[in-house]
Structure 1
Amino acid sequence: MDISGTPVKDVSALKEINFLIANRCTELDFSTVAKLKKLRQLSLQDTKLNDLEFLHDFTELEQLNINGTPLTDEQILKFQIRFQKDRLEKTKRFLMDVIR
């Protein structure tokens, strides 16, 4: 769903969507995005996003666009490392289930 450039604040009702493009949504409340656990693609380009912690529970996320946000390189790197570790753990659990 593309809501780019709109004054939308709350997207929590969109729980079943698997992609969200919310570029330039400067009023967006990211705590409502955190409720969209089925997202595979998320674009928050040119938003006021300043924290990535809410994304750690997004087990289906494959693509993330955070260009033009005030995030620091350190925040992005920290998220990337943790996200990769979480992915590795998910893959290990899947393989163990297949083997059993």
Structure 2
Amino acid sequence: MKHIVIRKFRDIHTNDLFDVGEPYETEDKERSIDLQKKGFIGSMLIEESLLSGNVNEVVEVINGEMSKERLEQLLQDEAEGKNRKTVIEHIESLLKGDEDESSKA
């Protein structure tokens, strides 16, 4: 089963570090459920990319914990692909939030 990481974590079984937006794959259904309950992985199974789901799924997995560079790439990919207004506005608001925070002293 493949999921999107929605909160950075280190896997206690493999000691691998998973960043937000990365895929996480396991055949262990109980492990998958446990990580979902703890808020580390999303319920959405990934196919090709973060942008492959419907609007609600995409907005759920794209969050402010992602790097500015990752958000900018997702924004560009969405604009060149499905070009969904709600997804674009969501990513732009996350990027604007980063700019607002970086200007504070």
Q: TM-score, normalising length from structure 1?
A: 0.36
Greater RCO, 1 or 2 (C-alpha within 8 Å, sep 6+)? 2
Q: TM-score, normalising length from structure 2?
A: 0.35
**Larger proportion of helix:** 2
**Larger proportion of strand:** 2
